[in-house]
Amino acid sequence: MSTLTVLKDYLLGKDDDIGYLLNPEHNSKTVMLSGAWGSGKTHFWQNDIEPKLRTDVKEKACAYISLYGMDSLKEIKEEVFFKASKENDYLSEEIEVFGFDALSTIADNGGEISKGLKTIFDLNKYRRSSKGKNKLKDGGIICFDDFERKSKKVELNDLFGFISQLAIGLNCKVVIILNSDVFEGEEANVFKTVKEKTVNKFFYFEPSIEELFNSIYSSNKKYKELDIHRDEIFKAIKETKELNARIYIQVLDNCLEWIDKGYELDTLKPFVLSSIFFAKYHYSFYIDNLESDDKVYEIYHAFNENIELAKNIRNVFPQYASGNAMTKDDIIHSLKEDVTKKTKDSNDNEHAEVYYASGYKLVEENKYMLRDFYFYKYILKIDDEIDGELFNDINQFIKTGVLSYKEANI
C-alpha cells in the first residue's frame, strides 16, 4: 500500500477507525509533519487532508496559515484568529464601505483614523478574535505551513510558546508543516529543545517518486488530457530521480500547454528533462550553434567570467561520458582535478593562479547544475532523439513561458 495512503488513513481514519486528527482524545495536541523541501507536504495537506477535515469538523475551524514572511508574533496571532473566524462575518456597514483591510493597513503604518471609525475597527477586531477562538476551541484545527521560512524576527521560543498556549488553552489541534533540516547554529539547538517540549506526535513525509507523481496527476482533472502521454512523462521524471511536487506541476503544465496549442512530439523525454533542468537552475538546454557538431548550450554562459573553464568543460564532458559512465558526484571531483592539473601544467604562473582560483570556485558554486547537466546530456541523452531546431523551440518556450498556437490550428 502507498505510504501516502497509509498516512492519510492514519490521519483521517478508514472504515470504522477514527483518524488521529478527528479523534477528540487528541485535542490539545501538536503534530509535526516534516519532510524535504518540495516533497509535496503542502500539496498533500491541501488536497488529501484538509478537504475532509473541513467537512468533518463541521462547526469548528480548520484553518491554514503560511508563516512565510511573517515578521512578528502579533501578526501571526491576528492571522490565526482571522482565518479561524471564517473571515469578516461581523463587519459593520461602515467598515465594509471603507474597507477593513485598508483601515488595517492605515493603523499598522501609524496612520490616523477618526475616533468613531477606530472604535468600530477595534470592536470588529475584538469580535473577530473572539469568534476565531470559539471556532478553534474544543476540536478546531490550525495548520502552520512554511514554518522554517518565518522571519528571523520571530523567535522560535516565542513561536512555540504561542503554539503550546493555542493547543492547550483552546483544546484544539495544531499541525506544523516544515523541513526541520534547515535550521542552523543556535536556532537549530533551540528548535531541537522546544520541539521536544511542544510537539506530541511526529510524522515524516517521504513519498516515492511514483506516489508523489500519482498524487499530483490525480489532483487536477485538467491533466486527464495527458493520459495518452502519462506513462512517458512519468518515466522521464523517474529517470531524473527528482522528488519535487512544484517541479512535477511545472512539467505537467508545460506538457499540457504544448499539446493544447497543437504541437506534437515523437518523444516527450527531452521536453520533460528540459523543463526540470530549467525549473531547478534557470538555464535552458538551448543550443547556440546548430550548424556545428560542437554544440554550445546555454549553460556555458554561466562561466562567462572564466571562458577558459567553459571551453574546458565543453571539451572534457564528452571524454568523461565515453566508456564507463561516471556518477554525478564523480564528475565534480574530476572537473576540480582537471582545473588543478591545467594550473600545474601552465607556463604562465600568474594566469594559472587566476584560472585556478576562479575555476575551482565556479565549479564548486555550480556543482549541482554541472552534475545534472552532465547526467541529463551524457547519461540520459536528452537531445539524441530530437531535431535540433525543435529542441531549441522547446527550450525557448520553457525559458520564456510564451507559446503561440501552431499556425495550422489557428
Least confident of 6-20, 28-42, 236-250, 317-331: 317-331
Least confident of 42-56, 279-293, 348-362: 348-362
Q: Contact at 8 Å (CB) between 302 and 296?
A: no
Nearest to 390 by CA among 250, 240, 237, 264: 264
pLDDT interval class at 204 (50, 70, 90): very high
Can you give the pLDDT at residue 107? 53
Q: Quote the CATH superfamily of domain 3-207.
A: P-loop containing nucleotide triphosphate hydrolases (3.40.50.300)
**Phi, then psi, of 287 in degrees rounded to 5:** -100, 125
- Answer yes or no: is pLDDT of 112 > 70: no
Can you give the pLDDT at residue 114? 56
358: cell is: 576562479
- Answer yes or no: is pLDDT of 93 > 60: no
Indicate left, alpha or beta for 145 from its phi (over 0: left) and psi (-120 to 50: alpha). beta
- The ranges assigned to domains in the chain are 3-207, 210-409
Can you give the pLDDT at residue 96? 41
Can you give the pLDDT at residue 92? 39
**pTM > 0.85: yes or no:** no
Least confident of 181-195, 226-240, 255-269: 181-195
